[in-house]
Amino acid sequence: MIDLKGKVALVTGGSRGLGRADCLALARAGADVVVTDILIESDPELEKAAEASGSALSQVMASQKAVYSEKTSSEIRDMGRRSVAMKMDVTNREQVKAVVDQVVKEFGSLDILINNAGTLDHMAAVENQVDALWDRDLKVNLTGAYNCSKAVWPYMKQRNWGRIIMMSSIAGSLGGFGQASYSTTKAGLTGLARTLALEGARYNITVNAIVPGIIGTEAFKMGRPDMNERMIKRVALRRPGEPEDIANAITFLCSPAAGYITGVALPVTGGLDLFTF
């Protein structure tokens, strides 16, 4: 049922973690995939501010600066699909438009957009939130998805077909202690998805949000074991999900089989959002 042959997908933040899993799953379903990510050219002052918070996530992100866009793209080509790795900063509107235009020119279309790029290293109670990091998080997580969606929109309208996925989070639904900026942006993505779903419906463009729960990414595995255990006990299935669980849901929503599903915020949480005890 999930056949994406002939479709061209662009994944932001696609070099590792959930983005990489999304790229590989879309390719296995038959899509050609453009892997985009930003090279490590972060603002040194913002990096220092994030690391100074002392949160486990900020330390993980600081230790994993490498991006693997070309490696992911190479694996996709080994499957027999077309793929290219491209640098794209989702906060740079001119660069986003240039990349989208280039993809359409070289691949012939752009049918699927996965808004996965995001920041996850700003952890502090509200009185200690760093204003510059708050601004950055909104710029990357929320405005970045807006920038990319707006850039692909004319091409999807012209072809009368499109799939856009927002990567939200359970933190956007339940809140997250010390995650004011992150939770706010993830909640905002759900509103953006539902608005674009209304605007895209007459052009056969579906727009949905994925709401991941506790997923066994690199960041989770490097977290404190006692905190991980506390989180897992909140999950009805009593285990973390895998990146492939998210990727499989995304692939389904991008397929013709999900053509009547739009404006949905789909929890992939293992029951984390249920009342568990």
- Tokens read off for 37: 């990510």
Rounded to 5 degrees, what are φ and ψ at 111?
A: -100, -25
Residue with tokens 């595995």: 221
Contact 235, 213 (CB under 8 A): yes
| Catalytic residue from among 68, 146, 182, 260 | 182
Alpha helix stretches (DSSP H) within the chain: 17-28, 44-52, 56-63, 69-78, 93-107, 131-137, 144-159, 170-174, 180-200, 218-221, 225-233, 243-254
| Element housing 248 (H / E) | helix 243-254
Residue with tokens 């909140």: 234
What is the Rg, in whole angstroms, of the alpha carbon atoms belonging to the chain?
Answer: 18
- 3-state secondary structure (DSSP) of residue 217: coil
Instruction: Judge whether 182 counts as a catalytic residue.
Output: yes
Would you please indicate which residues are annotated as catalytic (active-site) residues?
Answer: 182
